[in-house]
Structure 1
């Protein structure tokens, strides 16, 4: 029969092994107590591990979609706020030009209001959210429109050239007082309007894309979630501001001036209708995104429940194991200290 060696060295090694085993078990129990799920999914579930991996993959994918939808919703809210400000500015302009039609006073007031309105509109069209221009279509990294009053701006140069070509003299020439109402109406309805058609707008005014941003708001659902600065509402509003700013106070006679105001009333009314339509379009996209997010949250809850059925542990049982293992480790440390103090030298002293 083999006789087991008995010594303080052997006993100390035994307690060390016990401590190492208990510490490994404590790490597992602590994780399960804090996280509420098994420490080693593969060991705990065996051949069902693939099932929980698939569920977690889908769970993470749907969570990413809900986070993305939140950003999409905020971007659309930013766009809606800008559109609301544009409609408000257009409404104010409409009130001004309507009041000034037929009046020989306030021409400079109309011009100043139109100039400031055009600059404010430029700022609204260039609205930026999270590093992206919201009205740039898919060209989100490019500013949609430039400053109309900046030196060398192609839009202003084109309009001034168009005026001089039409009448044979520049806007600063005193002969502008001889332009008749019919001549001005013809200019506004043809040459001026052409400066704001889709082609001229893209050439001289806008760097935005006609292609709208499409966002995946659900695994099988894509929707357009932006409005382009090339939308008719932006072009019509820019035309209203520009014609009043450029022509309102250059010395036109009353008939020609009223022709400008009449055209501004028409295009401003059209712009309000178009911009309101753009708001409605975005509103539908916002509702679709919210509905998709609500559905995703329901699916996430179902997936979470399924994952918990596979991976969940009783946190109270895990906490009891933590306490028991902690007590065992503390006892082992205390025993190790006692064993270390057991020495023949200590006994002989």
Structure 2
């Protein structure tokens, strides 16, 4: 009985095996160039849900980081403005102290300076960051302080007056984590600022100041300075909380990114080595297929 040299079925099997090897090579070439196991989630098999969850976590952490960065920038702008207010009140106190001598020249200088300081204070309370007013509560598009009517009349050193304020009562806050929100806003009608505005209005619109007025003004200036320093400390605390939360989110984002990378990345060196093996295997397969397909019974019987 004569043995058959080749059959169609054998040739077909070898070609199918070669095509499978070629398909594996094509996939690994993509892995080698991209550095990841798959171009879509379907290629991650049992790890698919874990990869999705980690990527969602990374995106969420980044959104908290972005929100924290923006809020902290606003806090820094507010802190700087309040620092300038502190300097302004300190200078006002110095001039009030100088005016206690009863000198008409020092009193006139104090009144003139208060007029300039009132405008400066209004400008500081209308501080903007990225085109938004930071001391107006939720109303970030309208200047929170309007001096047009406030600047008329002396008002009172003892009665609060926030008629200059055009904003609302909402205190700005930022969500820095799933379970943490930081309140950082300060509105221009805050007691610290109101005391300063009331004091400046009284002095700026006075024609003369008695010893009793100056003494009372000094007390109010001291109270305003203490209150403004407290506001600045609160802003500093809010900034620290925001920055700490952002740092934690950054650490978590890096951790989650690493875990996701471990699940999705390939060892490029290992893939390259496998490709060399498959290349040799594929070359041998096609060589064998070519050899088999070139044989016929007549050649074999010669």
Contact 1:41 1:311 in 2 (8 A): no
Unaligned runs of 5+ in 2: 1-5, 9-18, 279-302
In 1, Cα distance between the equivalents of 2:129 and 2:116?
23
Q: Select which of 261, 268, 293 maps to 2:221.
A: 268
List structure 1 segments (4+ residues) > 3 angstroms apart after TM superposition.
20-27, 315-325
User: What residue is the counterpart of 2:79 in the other structure?
Assistant: 80
Instruction: Encode CA deviations 1:27-48: one digit per residue, 9 max, x unaligned.
Output: 824652xxx3233243431232
In 1, Cα distance between the equivalents of 2:273 and 2:71?
46
Unaligned runs of 5+ in 1: 4-16, 163-187, 326-349
Instruction: Encode CA deviations 1:98-131: one digit per residue, 9 max, x unaligned.
Output: 1111223223211221111111111110000012
C-alpha RMSD over aligned residues: 2.9
1:209 aligns with 2:168: yes
Instruction: Determine helix, strand or coil for the equivalent of 2:175.
Output: strand
TM-score, normalization: structure 2?
A: 0.77
Q: Select which of 238, 257, 260 maps to 1:304.
A: 257
How many residue pairs get matched? 260
Contact 2:196 2:224 in 1 (8 A): yes
Instruction: Encode CA deviations 1:136-180: one digit per residue, 9 max, x unaligned.
Output: 12222221102x3xxxx22234x36x6xxxxxxxxxxxxxxxxxx
Q: Select which of 223, 238, 242 maps to 1:289.
A: 242
User: What residue is the counterpart of 1:143 in the other structure?
Assistant: 143
Instruction: Encode CA deviations 1:273-309: one digit per residue, 9 max, x unaligned.
Output: 1111111111111111122112212211221122122
Mapping of residues 252-263 of structure 1, within 5 Å: 252=208, 256-263=209-216
User: What residue is the counterpart of 2:120 in the other structure?
Assistant: 120
Deviation at 1:267?
Answer: 1.4
In 2, Cα distance between the equivalents of 1:114 and 1:269?
16
User: What residue is the counterpart of 2:30 in the other structure?
Assistant: 28
Contact 1:209 1:230 in 2 (8 A): no
Mapping of residues 182-221 of structure 1, within 5 Å: 188-189=156-157, 193-194=158-159, 197=160, 200-201=161-162, 204-221=163-180
User: What residue is the counterpart of 1:95 in the other structure?
Assistant: 94
Contact 2:132 2:141 in 1 (8 A): yes
TM-score, normalization: structure 1?
A: 0.67
In 1, Cα distance between the equivalents of 2:134 and 2:177?
21
Instruction: Determine helix, strand or coil for the equivalent of 2:181.
Output: strand
User: Which has the higher mean CA deviation after the structures are superposed, 258-267 or 233-242?
Assistant: 258-267
Q: 1:104 to 1:64 in 2, by over 3 A?
A: same
